[in-house]
């Protein structure tokens, strides 16, 4: 009987070691997946920020052009007024 109990304990210990290895591998894979997800999220955020930059640039340039156009129109109107 004691021999059977001893064999059962040894089998349980082997199963426990296998389970620990499986858990460790799962943990490693999960960490890998999290790392990849973080990198992908970072890449997406960077792309989103880059895509906003051209829009911001266009907006600033558009505002500059509007100011310049307004200034030119005012100058033109002043010249017309002087000619009258």
Ranges of each domain in the chain: 1-51, 52-83
pLDDT, mean of residues 3-26? 89
Reported as a single tens digit per residue, the pLDDT across 19-72 is 999 999 999 999 999 999 999 999 888 887 777 777 777 888 889 899 999 999
Q: Is the pLDDT score of 84 beyond 70?
A: no
3-state SS, residue 1: coil
Strands (E), the chain: none
Model pTM score: 0.52
């Amino acid at each position: 009987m004691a021999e059977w109990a001893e064999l059962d304990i040894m089998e349980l210990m082997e199963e426990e070691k296998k389970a620990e290895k499986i858990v460790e591998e799962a943990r490693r894979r999960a960490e890998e997946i999290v790392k990849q997800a973080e990198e992908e999220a970072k890449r997406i955020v960077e792309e989103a920020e880059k895509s906003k930059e051209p829009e911001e640039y266009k907006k600033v340039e558009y505002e500059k052009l509007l100011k310049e156009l307004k200034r030119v129109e005012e100058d033109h109107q002043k010249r017309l007024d002087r000619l009258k």
